[in-house]
A and B are shown apart, each in its own frame.
Chain A
């Protein structure tokens, strides 16, 4: 069994530039490893490894194009509670040890050297954690359709995943729907959403999204059932073109998503969209843009 473990930040001190270039054997970081247990049992990340291997086997126009396919499958194969997923050591372990090859392929860096943040960074920066958290915030009940849309352009998660407003699920779902609907002639999607993000962020001074759309009650039993899938369930979820199914929880009330959507429309009508001379391509550089936090 491929046992999930935890790797402390101290492991960073043992890694040298060759590691980030993909050279050399697996690093000797055994003394930085901690045990990961759930209710006294180990957790097997084998299905996640299969998903990653399938991702690497497939042909993509560029590595970033794989995010859309991989994010829901990663979330469905590595089943965690948010509490477990908030432990950065878990993601460091996966990136530094068993899934290093994927991280280096997905984020090769400008000069062939991956960035430290892809292995040790925060939720929005980490190569693997960003996919899991992006899926967690944009799933709607058992559906990952919004997740696939969210990751279809890496500019969008790079800018929106960090924000407090995106943690409000009806807002996240409404934003994903709206951002890709937004079209202004002559202005690229990347420029559109940056201007829109600033305007929406400012609009939250006088609009309380929490009052517009309250949360669905937590469904503890369904969440618990999700953690323990049937033995053959992974086979149905991974490797194929059909998206997997997420936790069997009630979806967000469509009326609530629509209320936020109306707010987004109102904001967009008053937003000053500007064309920039040079828009950084999401295909050549995955730059993390940290918006104002609300």
Chain B
């Protein structure tokens, strides 16, 4: 068995996709969707528009590639850019050819119009460069990180729960608590107002973004990505669950337990406990409190791990990984 990530020269530099403008039914969105925070997180929220029955969203997307590297690549001028729109809920998978912008930079643009009737939940927008390699067109060379278009209010993120995810160079960050963990690949902060998962892109982890960022992946690249992602997601989910359990309140000895004061802890518990205990949320909260105070947390620990594995789809990714190493997999590039 011989496995190669890619048997041809790919593009290693950054491919940056930016949504430059958005309009809703040919008008400016209200509220504004391209806020500074939205651009930083690559998320566009559409579900809370004042005009609730809007029908069409139009986006202008710009793609910027590593100019020098692209100029030197064997595929050269034949390299093309494709904008890919995927929605898991409605099984949409659309491809839009991007137009090269004349000028010194490796830049492409595309205008895309999406009908609300074709999408539900969260839709992913990413771009890929491809080109001919040895007379075969369409060889993928690199992909951008994905933008999330939230057509509807998202449920708790299955990978990270109620937690925001941010990249930072821990060793050079102004936040002192991150400097303390400069030798760690990630740090989950539950002490600040809202929980945040910090991923380290500094020092020996400078290639971690390449491994973890959301972009289309295949083969061994996908296998390694999923293994690391699942490991981090499991650790973070367990930590959130424990922190949330600890937040359960009980005002008096004989009173019923109450949800944590923190909104994110309540969301985590409401999402997970009913499945752990197979009860309605309020009953599950009581059971969780009893297990915590009188049961040594045994039920939560044992069933909680199974529930978390389901949530992060750990078994599915493991199956995919194992299938990748099957003996009858093709050993040459097609």
Q: Are A292 and B320 in contact (CB under 8 A)?
A: yes
List, in ascending order, chain B residues with CB within 8 A of A208's CB. 82, 128, 130, 138-140
Q: How far is the CA of A199 from the CA of B91 in the complex (A)?
A: 22
Q: How far is the CA of A223 from the CA of B118 in the complex (A)?
A: 10
CB A133 to nearest CB in B, in angstroms, measures: 7
Of residues 197 through 250 on chain A, the ones whose CB sits less than 8 Å from some CB of chain B are: 198-199, 202-215, 217-218, 220, 223-224
List, in ascending order, chain B residues with CB within 8 A of A99's CB. none
Q: How many A-B residue pairs have CB under 8 A?
A: 118
List, in ascending order, chain B residues with CB within 8 A of A83's CB. 90, 116-120
Interface string of B1-29 (1 = CB under 8 A from A): 00000111000000000000000000000
Q: Does B89 contact A (CB under 8 A)?
A: yes
Q: Does B97 contact A (CB under 8 A)?
A: yes
Q: Does A278 contact B (CB under 8 A)?
A: no
Q: Are A202 and B334 in contact (CB under 8 A)?
A: yes
Of residues 295 through 334 on chain B, the ones whose CB sits less than 8 Å from some CB of chain A are: 320, 323, 328-330, 332-334
Q: Does B93 contact A (CB under 8 A)?
A: yes
CB B33 to nearest CB in A, in angstroms, measures: 19
Q: Are A204 and B218 in contact (CB under 8 A)?
A: yes
List, in ascending order, chain B residues with CB within 8 A of A214's CB. 82, 95-97
Q: Does B231 contact A (CB under 8 A)?
A: no
Given A208-B138, A292-B320, are A123 and B334 also a contact pair (CB < 8 Å)?
A: no
Q: How far is the CA of A12 from the CA of B290 in the complex (A)?
A: 28
Q: How far is the CA of A133 from the CA of B90 in the complex (A)?
A: 9
CB A208 to nearest CB in B, in angstroms, measures: 4
Q: Does B287 contact A (CB under 8 A)?
A: no
Q: Are B7 and A206 in contact (CB under 8 A)?
A: yes
List, in ascending order, chain B residues with CB within 8 A of A58's CB. none
Q: Does B113 contact A (CB under 8 A)?
A: yes
Q: How far is the CA of A271 from the CA of B56 in the complex (A)?
A: 43
CB B223 to nearest CB in A, in angstroms, measures: 11
Given A123-B91, A204-B218, A210-B82, are A86 and B329 also a contact pair (CB < 8 Å)?
A: no
Q: Does A137 contact B (CB under 8 A)?
A: yes
Q: Does B31 contact A (CB under 8 A)?
A: no
Interface size class of A (residues with CB under 8 A): 35 or more
Q: How far is the CA of A293 from the CA of B313 in the complex (A)?
A: 13
Q: How far is the CA of A210 from the CA of B96 in the complex (A)?
A: 8
Q: Are A133 and B91 in contact (CB under 8 A)?
A: yes
Query: Which of these, A167, A198, A218, A271, contacts B113 with CB under 8 Å?
Result: A218
Q: Does B67 contact A (CB under 8 A)?
A: no
Q: Which of A203, A207, A209, A271 has the most CB of B within 10 A?
A: A207
Q: Does A168 contact B (CB under 8 A)?
A: yes
Given A209-B138, A212-B137, are A202 and B120 also a contact pair (CB < 8 Å)?
A: no
- Give A residues with C-beta under 8 Å from B: 81-87, 123, 133, 136-137, 164, 167-168, 198-199, 202-215, 217-218, 220, 223-224, 263, 266-267, 270-272, 274, 292-294
Q: Which 8 A-B pairs have the closest CB atoms?
A: A210-B95, A205-B218, A167-B93, A81-B117, A82-B90, A205-B219, A211-B130, A203-B334
- Give B residues with C-beta under 8 Å from A: 6-8, 55-56, 80, 82, 84, 86, 89-97, 113-121, 128, 130, 136-140, 218-219, 320, 323, 328-330, 332-334
A-B contacts, 29 of them at CB < 8 A, read A81-B117, A83-B90, A83-B118, A86-B89, A86-B90, A167-B93, A168-B95, A202-B334, A203-B334, A204-B218, A205-B6, A206-B6, A206-B7, A207-B138, A209-B138, A210-B84, A210-B93, A211-B128, A214-B97, A215-B96, A217-B113, A218-B114, A218-B115, A220-B115, A223-B117, A224-B117, A263-B138, A270-B332, A293-B320
